Amino acid sequence: HPPHAVIVNGANGRRIAARLHAQQGEYRLHSVANLAEAVAIARDETPAGGVVLLSPGAPSFDQFHDYAERGRSFAELAGFDAEAIGQIEGLGIA
């Protein structure tokens, strides 16, 4: 299934959005300032039973120290217990 929405942010967000806009995909395209805003929009855009996928397409050193900090931030914004997120399968952090 194609995505309902694509949300871009970070230092490369504008460039990625420009490429996606040129593709004229059948999804809503959002450019946001940070991950918290991206998660908020994802909640609004995702239908019941849908999936939100964090798929970093570029480095995010303008916002996070490393991938683990970014993963923890996403997990917390998604509503996971901050003390238990190291046990989320596939998150790749401890």
Average pLDDT of the segment spanning 2-12 = 85
- Identify whether 41 is part of a domain: yes
Count of structural domains within the chain: 1
- Identify whether 82 is part of a domain: yes
- Identify whether 37 is part of a domain: yes
- Identify whether 93 is part of a domain: no
d(CA 50, CA 74): 17
Query: pTM, whole model, 2 decimals?
Result: 0.74
Domain coverage including residue 71: 5-87
Report pLDDT for 94: 57
CA angle 92, 59, 1 (to 5 degrees): 70
d(CA 89, CA 9): 25
Report pLDDT for 14: 87
**Residue at 33: amino acid letter:** A
- Identify whether 92 is part of a domain: no
Average pLDDT of the segment spanning 14-30 = 89
Q: Is the pLDDT confidence value at 88 over 70? A: no
CB of 20 closer than 8 Å to CB of 8: yes
Report pLDDT for 84: 73
- Identify whether 67 is part of a domain: yes
Q: What is the mean pLDDT of the chain?
A: 83
- Identify whether 30 is part of a domain: yes
